[in-house]
């Protein structure tokens, strides 16, 4: 059963102690389920319940829920490791996980299809926010007969506790790669992205081979919980930021009480292409002092010169604020297609020069202080 009508409140069983030893029924206010879906809905059938709830100490909540009532997460042991989990599973010996759900998360007018994919790793492939999983699609590598396909890396779009808040799942944000012949305009399935199409076509219960986790560049620094984090993304590059923001604003993590500023810039083609928009808009409503959210819709908006509005144009609009925040110690992150970086770099350099500053010196300082985070593909 899918819940799609508004609810004023919902009663759920949650652990009241950090160790989960004592439980009581509490009410989470202002949790609504709308007809417009932007991710897997809450399903209460027995199959989904078995995937989402573990010994009643974990609540399975849909992507639609971004309320000020934060959710307890388990197991808190995931907070303990001092070393970043890295390469627990490698291409020669990947981990076999299970697909929980695959759901289209863009509207009908979006160019292309993007899916939110939840993978059950049963707690065996732990990760931190900002890391990536490798996926090995089934089949034979056409360039290496008899060998498996190459690993395809995807930024993880959930916190270490996953969408079920039990530490047993990870979510990926995947755009289906389709090739169209430039002369005929006809789709050529033989040149379609092998891994993205495998994931977007997957069904609950299908097996998927994963590697990792990998990456340290995009890890969320948590030593200063009042820090400013400026996050810039195009398309599915928003994936790691979804994990950051859920950790900051959705989850009740005892040792991480974020009280800084998170500022998200997201560039996509049009309104139907926005990813996790209702979730982010919920944070904006509940945490207006701690979250800012700016969108650049290239096919619907114009920049100040009358051209298409790209994410670098939106950055230029707020350049004075951004530079002041960087001067005050802010972290800045970039994730998405590598083609976005030249335009962004040119914009930042031009703004720096207009301010009488050297962008090269500022960039060198940001990198030296580990406040410049880039992951593009």
Gap between the Cα atoms of 213 and 235, Å rounded: 22
Q: Choose, from 173, 195, 200, 335, the residue flagged as catalytic.
A: 335
How many distinct helices (H) and strands (E) make up the chain? Answer: 8, 15
Instruction: Provide the pairing of β-strand 291-297 with 261-268.
Output: parallel
Q: Between the CA atoms of 239, 244, 246 and 250, what dihedral angle is there, to the nearest 10 degrees?
A: -170
* Among 305, 349, 329, CA closest to 228: 329
Phi then psi dihedrals of residue 42, to 5 deg? -75, 115
Question: Quick one: tokens of 89?
Answer: 């599973």
H or E stretch at 103: strand 95-104
Q: Choose, from 89, 133, 154, 276, the residue flagged as catalytic.
A: 154
Q: Choose, from 155, 158, 196, 273, the residue flagged as catalytic.
A: 155
Instruction: Provide the pairing of β-strand 132-136 with 152-155.
Output: antiparallel
Active site residue 335: yes
Active site residue 154: yes
* Among 318, 302, 320, CA closest to 310: 302
Q: Kindly report the number of other CB atoms within 10 A of residue 49's CB atom.
A: 11
H or E stretch at 46: helix 46-52
Gap between the Cα atoms of 275 and 115, Å rounded: 10
H or E stretch at 291: strand 291-297
Q: Kindly report the number of other CB atoms within 10 A of residue 349's CB atom.
A: 16
Gap between the Cα atoms of 203 and 183, Å rounded: 34
Active site residue 241: no
Q: Kindly report the number of other CB atoms within 10 A of residue 332's CB atom.
A: 20
Gap between the Cα atoms of 155 and 130, Å rounded: 7
Annotated catalytic residues are: 154-155, 335, 375, 377
């Amino acid at each position: 059963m899918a819940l799609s009508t508004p609810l004023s409140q919902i009663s759920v069983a949650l652990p009241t102690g950090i160790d989960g030893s004592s439980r009581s029924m509490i009410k989470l206010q202002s949790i609504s389920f709308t007809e417009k879906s932007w991710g897997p809905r809450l399903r209460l059938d027995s199959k989904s319940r078995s995937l989402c709830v573990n010994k009643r100490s974990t609540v399975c909540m849909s992507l639609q829920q971004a309320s000020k009532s934060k959710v307890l997460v388990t197991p808190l042991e995931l907070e303990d490791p001092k070393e970043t989990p890295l390469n627990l599973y490698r291409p020669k010996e990947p981990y076999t996980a299970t697909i929980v759900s695959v759901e289209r998360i863009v509207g009908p007018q979006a160019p292309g299809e993007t899916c939110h994919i939840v993978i059950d790793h049963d707690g065996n492939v732990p990760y931190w926010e900002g890391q990536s999983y490798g996926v090995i699609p089934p089949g034979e590598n056409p360039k290496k007969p008899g060998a498996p396909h190459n690993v395809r890396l995807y930024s993880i779009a959930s916190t270490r506790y996953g969408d079920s808040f039990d530490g047993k799942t990870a979510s990926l944000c995947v755009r289906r790669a389709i090739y169209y012949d430039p002369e005929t305009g006809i789709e050529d399935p033989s040149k379609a992205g092998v891994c993205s199409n495998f994931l977007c076509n997957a069904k609950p219960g299908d097996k998927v081979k994963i590697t990792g986790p990998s990456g340290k560049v995009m890890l969320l620094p948590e030593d200063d919980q009042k820090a400013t984090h400026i996050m810039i993304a195009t398309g599915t590059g928003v994936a790691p930021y979804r994990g950051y923001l859920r950790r900051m604003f959705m989850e009740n993590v005892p040792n991480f009480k974020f009280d800084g500023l998170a500022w998200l810039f997201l560039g996509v083609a049009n309104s139907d292409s926005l990813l996790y928009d209702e979730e982010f808009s919920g944070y904006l409503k509940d945490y207006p002092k701690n979250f800012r959210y700016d969108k650049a819709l290239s096919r619907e908006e114009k920049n100040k010169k009358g051209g298409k509005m790209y994410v670098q144009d939106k950055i230029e609009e707020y350049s004075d604020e951004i530079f002041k925040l960087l001067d005050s110690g802010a972290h800045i992150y970039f994730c998405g297609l590598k083609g976005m970086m030249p335009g962004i770099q040119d914009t930042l350099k031009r703004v720096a020069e207009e301010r009488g500053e050297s962008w090269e010196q500022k960039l060198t300082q940001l990198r030296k202080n580990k406040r410049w985070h880039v992951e593009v593909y």
